[in-house]
Chain A
Amino acid sequence: MDAKSYAICFKPSSSALKRSNTTRNWYRVAKLEQLKTIGRELTKGSQGGFYQSKEFLDLVKSIGEARSKAEEDRIVLSEIETLKRRISEPDIPKRKMKEYIIRLVYVEMLGHDASFGYIHAVKMIHDDSLLVKRTGYLAVTLFLNEDHDLIILIVNTIQKDLKSDNYLVVCAALNAVCKLINEETIPAVLPQIVELLAHPKEAVRKKAIMALHRFYQKSPSSVSHLVSNFRKRLCDNDPGVMGATLCPLFDLITNDVNSYKDLVISFVSILKQVAERRLPKAYDYHQMPAPFIQIKLLKILALLGSSDKQASENMYTVVGDIFRKCDSSSNIGNAVLYECICCVSSIYPNPKLLESAADAISRFLKSDSHNLKYMGIDALGRLIKISPEIAEQHQLAVIDCLEDPDDTLKRKTFELLYKMTKSTNVEVIVDRMIDYMNSINDNHYKTEIASRCVELAEQFAPSNQWFIQTMNKVFEHAGDLVNIKVAHNLMRLIAEGFGEDDDTADSQLRSSAVESYLHILGEPKLPSVFLQVICWVLGEYGTADGKYSASYITGKLCDVAEAYSNDETVKAYAVTALMKIYAFEIAAGRKVDMLPECHSLMEEFLASHSTDLQQRAYELQAVIGLDAHAVESILPSDASCEDIEVDKALSFLNDYIQEAIEKGAQPYIPESERTGMLNISNFRNQDHHEASSHGLRFEAYELPKQTVQARIPPASLASTELVPVPEPMYPRESYQTTTVPSVSSDAASTELKLRLDGVQKRWGRQTHFPSTSTSNSTSLKTVNGITQVDGSNTANSRTRETYDSRKQVEISPEKQKLAASLFGGPSKTEKKSATGHKSSKPSSHMVKSHAPKSSMEVASEKTSVQQPPDLLDFGEPTVKSTAPSLDPFKDLEGLLEPTTQVSSAVNHSSTAAVTKSPDIMGLYTETTAGAHHKDSDILSGLSNPPMTNMVGGTTTMQVAQSSKGPNLKDSLEKDALVRQMGVTPSSQNPNLFKDILG
């Protein structure tokens, strides 16, 4: 009876994948039966080519039949006992030994320690029999890591095997090299491996290349002189070797793009040949020519073409070809398509390819397969950086994914939302993120999403109130997971305020923070980090607005210190906060009555084991005893942002020194002027040069900055201990320039530092847009209406319109509302930004929108000068920062609308805008004639959306043509060149890549 015919199969046909559950159940039942049968059959002695004993078969059978982890553990433990006894017996036949080793592999695979047998695996690699040797190598690579003590015993054998005449032995040794050679042992095998690069067997060459790749991963410097070998192997006759070489090249190029730009042509040519099916049929997978090699090549091209127009132009044709050739009905076809999208969104943008990518994305998103939807969302997130307008076409698909029960898809969609967050939709997105954060238990992901919420809130917060509330929510639910820096940033933000001269707004913010914190303190269990923030803010601003009495605030602080008595940091914050409150009271001339609970708390802290707490308590005691004047100079009110002048020369001691010298003391000689002593600074310089040869470090350890800040007694530092380096406010000019990159690279930057400049700007302008949230949620219909009206003139309007019309029939109102709040704002601004770009004067718009603040003359001059280069710059990655150019633009639009009365439905304008708009009109009419002409052009375009679009449309076409012209020519030339160099596809083993690099 043939066991195999009964065993459950997972024959990998597509029909097998579509098996229904019922058949699978049947298979399960059949399998249980079969396990028994097979066990019985095989124990009778039916053996394959590989020798297997009854014992082994019994082991496998019992492991297979184990019904629980506990049962499995029992089996493995008894197996360990058996092996321990048997494996050290003398004269074990090598086949038997091989089997023992495999049984050891089982033991480790099932989670138990098999280290007692490692040495036998090491011995086995000495064996002459190839199969036994290779099994030995396999076992040692599974058991040992590269720093294991036994490695030293293996290196010798590896060296010997690398010289073997049998190429399979060499291959086995090379496999082990890739897993077991560490940095120190690289030199022992490196020369042999380099020799093997020219081995007649392609399998050996391939593995030798991968061994070098491994060395590069371990220690790049060890193979830096061998990089040319990678280039050479790229033109290997064997496609397998070429394919493997792409792996190290990918890493090399990732680390240093510019040194490999010369290979662009080669990669493109290889990719072209692969796509044209010139590789042996054996590399085909589901009718797709060498898809894994194609994917690797596309990854490499994406790196090489990133912000390199010239390199990218070489790639357009071949990537376009692959887009066309890919079979979108198979998984592997879609995998290659996805890689094409990644490539297209990485290289210098090409309108045609972007269109193909957008088409592919919409196919992914419309598919029923969750896998494809996932890929589509990911791809959308990539493409959105280049063509932001693509998001709105897919808004409903995106929302469906966001609400999908599948967590994977949901997370991916949150990632997309994170990438497309703007000031107009930040509230909806962050609210959703926080809701989701509260619903999950996975701390790893919770941390990630919390830090993203913080980042977005810091960057795009529409109002101070909202910002504080959002941060409260994040801290409340994930306080222990967020970085402590976030808390420090929040404190600094509250302390520094936002407006440059708007003191009332700042004090409102602080009052609302105090208010909300006093409320939150009622909650039972709060994270430590959050409590630190609360204590600090209450200490600094608790009594500032006079709403709460000192005794109320101090009572709350004492409650905190008592309730969280095992958290020393919180207690320290609480004590310092108490000290500040009392100091402010004394400075204001009020009598201080310490609460009884405060007294008992102080008594406790004065005797605390923590020296930090003790010191703080003593300082508090000392401060309370001082008079009002002294207290005010120690702890001035609201001075946490003031610079502290540190008198490094200690000049206040001059009198004292003078006195001492007069009494006959030795004057101080600076270190550098002392003779006969080691010149430390010189020595340090020397040491830098010889650092590699010296075993000891002579330079001083760096000062532990963190602790220094924390340990400095608060009294000497006033109240700034939490604001380490009070940053100066940015002057207006500089923040305009700095905000531009910070907004454009929002997704890329993961820095935790609070971007105060961006926040200031955003919030400074807040007066113009008092109610973004309400306009978003209430003006849904009108927003949609407008996009439709506007859309009818834009290039991509057709798809959206159909989507819109469908939407009106079948989409629930909640979804529409969500869509509008997510995309509604952006869709409008996006369009504007697009016109802003395409009408070839992005910078002029920017300048103009700021113009009311600065000089108008300068602005108009700039318009006329900058026009031509901007046209060419269209779509360049550096210009993809649509955000900065679009926001001022929107400002302008908002200002103009009330007077022109085109679409009164748009809720952007506010009372502030109305009062300002005549001003601007006035400014514009005052400018010179030439500039005026241009300005009025734009103004009329703005007040008349369809016309703007027409202007935008025509320029787009021009741009497309102008960038297409040279492309086409280039690509034709390339094509001809490749054809000249190409080889006939008919030959058996074509010399594919030899000729490319010469």
Chain B
Amino acid sequence: MGIRFILMVNKQGQTRLAQYYEWLTLEERRALEGEIVRKCLARNEQQCSFVEHRNYKIVYRRYASLFFLVGVDNDENELAILEFIHLLVETMDRHFGNVCELDIMFHLEKAHFMLEEMVMNGSIVETSKANILSPIQLMDKAS
């Protein structure tokens, strides 16, 4: 199981999306998010996009006001995860057009649907943007 969780957090440290691939209780999530957000937000742009935290490695990337944080196992390819984040952003961008923090806030379920297509059981299963977006487009049409 490579990916343990995916978080989107704005630069004030507020969670905008959280998806865990292993069960953590509410308290555990709260504590974990607090700790890693503090760690990642304190780093500057010259430093690595990777942070070790307990048994996780956090790969993070900042887009304007929003941080994307992915917690992975120790033997995961960090650069690939970094690009996976970018692929996710590109995919959301294709759907929302110039995606922004508010798009995710107003359409939280859609952002989750995209993740559901891309990652299952903590593994990346789909990387074709067309395949990721087609169910969402079909649902859009139907409703």
A interface residues, Cβ below 8 angstroms from B:
3-5, 7-12, 16-17, 19, 24, 27-28, 31, 34-35, 38, 42, 48-52, 57, 60, 63-64, 66-67, 69, 72, 102, 105-106, 108-113, 129-131, 134-135, 138, 142, 145-146, 168, 171, 175, 178, 203, 206-207, 210, 213-214, 217, 240, 243-244, 247, 280, 282-283, 285-286, 290-293, 295-296, 331-332, 334-336, 338-339, 342, 370-371, 373-375, 405-406, 408-409, 411, 444-445
Contact = CB atoms under 8 A, between A and B. Distances in A.
A35 B140 CA distance: 25
A925 to B, nearest CB: 54
Contacts of A130: 139, 142-143
B47 A72 contact: no
Nearest to A98: B109
Contact of A408 (B50, B83, B126): B50
A143 to B, nearest CB: 10
Nearest to A68: B12
B18 A109 contact: yes
Interface string B43-62: 10011111110100000000
Given A130-B143, A371-B49, A406-B46, 12 more contacts: A7-B101, A109-B15, A110-B14, A171-B135, A210-B123, A214-B121, A282-B130, A291-B80, A338-B79, A370-B47, A373-B48, A408-B52
15 contacts: A4-B100, A31-B101, A51-B143, A110-B14, A113-B26, A135-B109, A146-B23, A168-B135, A203-B134, A210-B121, A240-B128, A292-B84, A335-B80, A335-B82, A408-B47
A506 B90 CA distance: 67
Given A102-B108, A168-B139, A10 B126 contact: no
Contacts of B15: 109-111
Instruction: Provide the main secondary structure of the chain A interface.
Output: helix
B110 A370 contact: no
A7 B112 contact: no
B80 A175 contact: no
Given A210-B121, A331-B79, A10 B139 contact: no
Given A129-B143, A168-B138, A280-B128, A9 B64 contact: yes
B29 A9 contact: no
Nearest to B127: A292
Interface string B90-127: 10010011111111011111101100100011011111
Interface in B1-54: 1, 11-15, 17-19, 23, 26, 29-30, 33, 43, 46-52, 54
Nearest to A411: B52
Contacts of A290: 127
B37 to A, nearest CB: 11
A651 B34 CA distance: 66
Contacts of B143: 49-51, 129-131
Nearest to A251: B1
A158 to B, nearest CB: 15
Nearest to A60: B105
A10 B14 contact: no
A168 B49 CA distance: 36
A688 to B, nearest CB: 34
A371 B138 contact: no
Contacts of B126: 206, 240, 243-244
A291 B17 contact: no
B77 to A, nearest CB: 6
B99 A10 contact: yes
Contacts of B46: 370, 406
Contacts of A178: 120-121
A108 B79 contact: no
A31 B65 contact: yes
Contacts, number: 225
Contacts of B49: 371
The 3 lowest CB-CB distance pairs between A and B, nearest first, are A10-B63, A335-B79, A282-B128
Contacts of B13: 69
A502 to B, nearest CB: 43
A965 B130 CA distance: 45
B51 A408 contact: yes
Contacts of A69: 13-14
Contacts of A17: 63
Contact of B65 (A28, A42, A331): A28
Contact of A10 (B26, B47, B89, B142): B89
B77 A335 contact: yes
A16 B100 CA distance: 13
Contacts of A411: 52
B120 A24 contact: no
Nearest to A214: B121
A290 B29 CA distance: 33
Nearest to B102: A7
Contacts of A405: 47
Given A27-B65, A50-B110, A203 B135 contact: yes
B113 A213 contact: no
Nearest to B61: A17
Task: Identify the interface centre among A138, A146, A214, A286: most chain B CB within 10 Å of its CB.
Answer: A138
Contacts of A331: 79, 82-83, 86
A135 B139 CA distance: 11
B76 to A, nearest CB: 10
Contacts of A10: 63-66, 89, 99-101
B48 A64 contact: no
Nearest to A207: B120
Contact of A210 (B98, B105, B120): B120
Contacts of B109: 50, 102, 105, 134-135, 138
Nearest to B90: A12
Contacts of A51: 143
Nearest to B2: A247
A55 to B, nearest CB: 13
Given A38-B102, A111-B30, A338-B79, A16 B112 contact: no
A138 B112 contact: yes
B124 A375 contact: no
B99 A9 contact: yes
A334 B129 CA distance: 22
B89 to A, nearest CB: 4
A988 to B, nearest CB: 14
B106 A60 contact: yes
Nearest to A115: B26
A414 B117 CA distance: 38
Given A4-B98, A295-B77, A247 B121 contact: yes
Contacts of B134: 203
Contacts of A217: 1, 121
B116 A175 contact: yes
A370 B45 CA distance: 10
A612 to B, nearest CB: 35
A370 B109 CA distance: 35
Nearest to B92: A12
Nearest to B1: A217
Nearest to A110: B15
Given A213-B121, A280-B128, A285 B87 contact: yes
B129 to A, nearest CB: 7
A276 B113 CA distance: 32
A282 B129 contact: yes
A374 B30 contact: no
A102 B104 CA distance: 12
A28 B87 CA distance: 24
Given A57-B106, A203-B131, A213-B121, A8 B64 contact: yes
A705 to B, nearest CB: 29
A637 to B, nearest CB: 47
Given A27-B65, A210-B125, A332 B80 contact: yes
A270 B134 CA distance: 26
Contacts of B87: 285
B128 to A, nearest CB: 4
Contacts of B138: 168
B97 to A, nearest CB: 7
Interface string B67-91: 0000000000111101110110110
Contacts of B113: 134, 138
